[in-house]
């Protein structure tokens, strides 16, 4: 099930039609109150969320989704008429997994939906990113089975996108993964070379994981190239 919260009636009907034509079960809502009522009955696999809404704005809705345990891991794609870097960064800081700027092409939106849902359905049996068991280095542990990252035994509550980044780097611990490689693995080839999403997510990850983000112990930047996870040298 995909939920769309969009107050523009024409856009809402068009997107729902496009999703259903691709075989997705989808429902659209004009107001956040309608959306929250539906969330109480059934949780979706993905949320498409407009920024400008009546009653409360999309960022407020997103923050509520991320703050509740039951909905924290649901991927959210923001739909916004605003295309400034500030607006994109704000949405990503609040926990959005991706964003599409209006006016958008339906093929692009559907591609991003497929990518988000594919990652949601990831299992260790069918994904290049996933692996089984845990990876531990220092006081940090990546639990691939539970999709959690723990530091000193405490869950740091990463968003879905943040966990995917850490999971991928953990799989190749000790090796430098280029920005382009990480972006294409996580957001698909259509994401292009813009690493804004990646940089914002990495900053959020470091704030949650590192004692001092300016002097990281686990996630290192190879300037102009990419990122590297610290390698466990005990084994």
Query: Alpha carbon of 60 to those of 45, 95, 119: distances in Å?
Result: 20, 11, 25
pLDDT of residue 166: 94
Query: Alpha carbon of 67 to those of 64, 73, 88: distances in Å?
Result: 5, 10, 20
From the list 161, 148, 165, the residue with the least C-alpha distance to 69 is 148
pLDDT at 123 over 50: no
Q: What percent of the chain has pLDDT over 90?
A: 42
Return the H-helix or E-strand segment holding 186.
helix 179-187
pLDDT of residue 190: 59
| pTM across the whole model | 0.60
Averaged pLDDT of the chain: 85
Taking 3-state DSSP, the helix, strand and coil percentages for the chain, each rounded to the nearest 5, stand at 40, 20, 40
* More confident site: 90 or 152: 152
**At CA 144, angle to CA 210 and CA 59, rounded to 5?**
60
pLDDT of residue 207: 94
Q: Are 48 and 3 in contact (CB under 8 A)?
A: yes
Mean pLDDT value across residues 205-217: 94
pLDDT of residue 47: 96
pLDDT of residue 132: 65
Mean pLDDT value across residues 189-201: 73
Report residue 206's pLDDT band, with 50, 70 and 90 as the boundaries.
very high
pLDDT of residue 60: 92
Query: Alpha carbon of 138 to those of 52, 118, 164: distances in Å?
Result: 43, 31, 20
What whole-number distance in Å separates Cα of residue 96 and Cα of residue 90? 9
Q: What percent of the chain has pLDDT over 70?
A: 87
Number of helices (H), then strands (E), in the chain = 8, 12
Residue 220 CB coordination number (10 Å): 13
pLDDT of residue 124: 35
Reduced to 3 states (helix: H, G, I; strand: E, B; else coil), residue 47 is strand
- When mean pLDDT is compared across 5-19, 26-40, 66-80, 154-168, the lowest value belongs to 66-80
Q: Which residues contact 200 (CB under 8 A, 6 or more apart)?
A: 88, 89, 92, 93
What whole-number distance in Å separates Cα of residue 131 and Cα of residue 108? 29
Would you say the C-alpha torsion 93, 105, 73, 12 has a positive or negative sign?
Answer: positive
* More confident site: 193 or 230: 230
Mean pLDDT value across residues 108-125: 70
pLDDT at 196 over 60: yes
């Amino acid at each position: 099930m995909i939920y769309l919260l969009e107050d523009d009636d024409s856009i809402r009907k068009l997107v729902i039609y496009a999703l259903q034509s691709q075989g997705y079960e989808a429902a659209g809502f004009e107001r956040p109150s309608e959306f929250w009522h539906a969330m109480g009955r059934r949780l979706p696999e993905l949320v498409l969320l407009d920024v400008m809404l009546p009653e409360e704005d999309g960022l407020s809705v997103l923050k509520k989704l991320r703050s509740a345990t039951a909905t924290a891991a649901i991927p959210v794609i923001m739909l916004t008429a605003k295309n400034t870097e500030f607006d994109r960064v704000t949405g990503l800081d609040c926990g959005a997994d991706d964003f599409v700027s209006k006016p958008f092409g339906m093929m692009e939106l559907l591609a991003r939906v497929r990518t988000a849902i594919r990652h949601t359905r990831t299992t260790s049996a069918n994904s290049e990113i996933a692996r089984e068991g845990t990876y531990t280095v220092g006081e940090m542990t990546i639990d691939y089975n539970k999709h959690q990252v723990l530091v000193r035994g405490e869950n740091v509550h990463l968003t879905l996108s943040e966990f995917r980044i850490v999971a991928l780097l953990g799989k190749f611990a000790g090796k430098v993964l280029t920005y382009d490689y990480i972006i294409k693995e996580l957001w698909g080839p259509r994401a292009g070379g813009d690493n804004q999403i990646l940089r914002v997510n990495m900053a959020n990850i470091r704030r949650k994981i590192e004692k001092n983000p300016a002097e990281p112990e686990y996630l290192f930047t190879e300037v102009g190239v990419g990122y590297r996870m610290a390698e466990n040298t005990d084994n």
